[in-house]
Structure 1
């Protein structure tokens, strides 16, 4: 009997503590567990980002006292009237969109062959070296990269010494931003190529497709969502940039510089908030247009 009682005492499970009961409860309610896990970051996103952004945009419907410069909470549409009717804002909006599209197209044209080479041609060591090479510029400060390109493209700079300087202006802005945002396009495109099985490319060749036909008819449709995902980064970051254009853009203005000047120099927060509606609306339209491509799943 004593041996049996000793055996029973050894096989008894340990007492269920509060921590064990709580762990078992969340283990059996996975959706509730996920909700609790995401509650803190979602609260931070909603309170600090979304609500703060909405409060900022609300000021677009207010005005500024012409004597004191203080924001007056009188509801008006005069700021939007100025943004949508004045020639300056229309010209700057068109210029910003053209530069954003140009930067995106340049980065995509570079990212496609580079991403394909990194994923399908380069060996493991070369692939790792190229990944590091494209990620290294992200470790450098933004201002350092912008001023470095100023010394390259400006008169009496490196390109001017060989007679190829674009000078300070739109061309210099496009070149600088294309360089700064290139890693944000290359890495999603490279990841998209990595997900394409090599057997699929070999099958296309076995069926008689040549290299260019395989690339355009098989590879590009599969990697296109990753291309769109990368373009979202370059396009949106260019729309909101206001530093690089001040360093290499000469006298050119973009929407970001108008917003900055209205806040920092003019002290007109309501007009700056109304101007900010333009890039926000453009990005929302772009995201809506590319949603069906599956690009948002690659972000």
Structure 2
């Protein structure tokens, strides 16, 4: 019986099948080359888009603006950083920004610890997933919607004022409102790492501590705290960095409060001083690099 031409493999397909198989076998034997091929695209994106933009930021921070013509002078100098360090206004704003970020982190930690402990060790297993969903739900809403909702709450004569006794009785807009709103916005980023860390803590350790006569405080210090500290540090990386670079919340509820993010925005827009804005923008980056180097041995980075 004659074989139909449709049943015969095409010559081109047969010719290609050999090289493809040989290439596949060669890649199978060389795992390092296969891994490099898989990581080439994401590494290229990381180097070009992320590290490249940081490099441009650092280089442009060394430039200045001609005060007469307004043109950028592309000659390396440390004048921008010298101004930030020596000028009392910029130094105060930088320290205030660090203080706000630290305050938000402390507030979120104090709130997140009992909430995460209840979710991981007290709530019934079938309820835990719903509690996690409840924590994640605010993240689904727009950042601006939540910030402007707090603006309405904190407005003169708003719900917070009436809660404290009438118009003008509440905190209003300012530094306190900024810390409050930022603590609300970033709270889920602190709860989830602590919850994940506590969930890995065996219940048998807590039971053994109670059987040995340890009270709640002693059990927390000796058993829970060593496990939860890396998770707290991991959460603080989010809350601290996000608060340090934020400028939208300050614009909405901060009143006359100025943070680093606001100064960067002003120098990009009205002042049209891009090199000085770049120098200001490097401050949060350098602070976070120092912070990450300081906490890398605590095991916090493994909790992310």
TM-score under structure 1 length normalisation: 0.90
d(CA) in 2 for partners of 1:21 and 1:206? 64
d(CA) in 2 for partners of 1:125 and 1:24? 48
Does the 8 Å CA contact 1:154/1:166 hold for their aligned counterparts? no
Choose which of 203, 210, 216 in structure 1 pairs with 2:221.
216
Choose which of 205, 211, 234 in structure 2 pairs with 1:206.
211
Choose which of 268, 275, 298 in structure 2 pairs with 1:293.
298
- Aligned 1:108-257 pairs, distance under 5 A: 108-163=109-164, 165-257=170-262
d(CA) in 1 for partners of 2:210 and 2:19? 62
Does the 8 Å CA contact 2:57/2:282 hold for their aligned counterparts? no
Which residue of structure 2 lines up, in the alignment, with residue 34 of structure 1? 35
d(CA) in 1 for partners of 2:149 and 2:78? 42
CA shift, 1:84, in A, is 0.8
Which residue of structure 1 lines up, in the alignment, with residue 75 of structure 2? 74
CA shift, 1:207, in A, is 2.3
d(CA) in 1 for partners of 2:121 and 2:170? 36
Moved more, 238-247 or 19-28: 19-28
Paired residues in the alignment total 285
Alpha-carbon distance change, 110 to 27 in structure 1, aligned in 2, over 3 angstroms: farther
- Aligned 1:259-274 pairs, distance under 5 A: 259-274=264-279
TM-score under structure 2 length normalisation: 0.89
CA shift, 1:26, in A, is 3.4
3-state secondary structure, aligned to 2:269 = helix
d(CA) in 2 for partners of 1:20 and 1:199? 53
d(CA) in 2 for partners of 1:205 and 1:23? 58
d(CA) in 1 for partners of 2:39 and 2:260? 35
CA shift, 1:21, in A, is 4.0
Alpha-carbon distance change, 24 to 289 in structure 1, aligned in 2, over 3 angstroms: same
Unaligned residue ranges in structure 2 (runs of 5+)? 1-16
CA shift, 1:265, in A, is 1.6
Unaligned residue ranges in structure 1 (runs of 5+)? 1-15
d(CA) in 1 for partners of 2:279 and 2:147? 28
Alpha-carbon distance change, 23 to 189 in structure 1, aligned in 2, over 3 angstroms: farther
Q: Does 1:45 align with 2:50?
A: no
Which residue of structure 2 lines up, in the alignment, with residue 9 of structure 1? none
- Aligned 1:82-93 pairs, distance under 5 A: 82-93=83-94
Moved more, 88-97 or 73-82: 73-82
Q: Give deviations 1:181-214, integer Å, cap 9, x for gaps.
A: 0111111111111111112222222222222211
